[in-house]
Amino acid sequence: MAAKKSKKLRKERIVCISFRPDGSLRVEPDSLMVHRGNLVRWVTIVREARIRLHFKTRRGSPFTHEAFTSPSRGQALSAPVRDDAERGKYPYSVFLKIGKHEFKIDPDVEVQT
């Protein structure tokens, strides 16, 4: 019998981006709890939207790469949370661009051990 290769499964967390009735952005969850190795996918039902993320502090990003991929419009996918990411909150901004309009909200990612 051939030995099975053990793959380390990376849990993917989802952040949903939507609009409140007053036209402001909303993200769920607002404070995202992640563990080292997790991936995060930001999604919106607004198909033509482009999502951009920016981590704002000296701590930088908890992810292994600063750039995020866009599997398709209306989505952004992170690299895994770094193995050496410090425990705590990482505030960031989400920008949702639809045509000439850009909307912004400031949630955070919280790294747990």
Distance CA 43, CA 74 (A): 6
Q: What is the mean pLDDT of the chain?
A: 89
Q: What is the pTM of this model?
A: 0.86
Whether the per-residue pLDDT at 102 is higher than 80: the answer is yes
* 9: pLDDT strictly greater than 70: no
Domains of the chain, residue spans: 12-112
Q: How many helices (H) and strands (E) does the chain have?
A: 0, 9
User: Cis (ω within 30 of 0) for the bond into 91?
Assistant: no
**Confidence class for position 74, pLDDT limits 50, 70, 90:** very high
12-112 folds as Immunoglobulin-like (2.60.40)
The answer on pLDDT for 5 being more than 90 is no
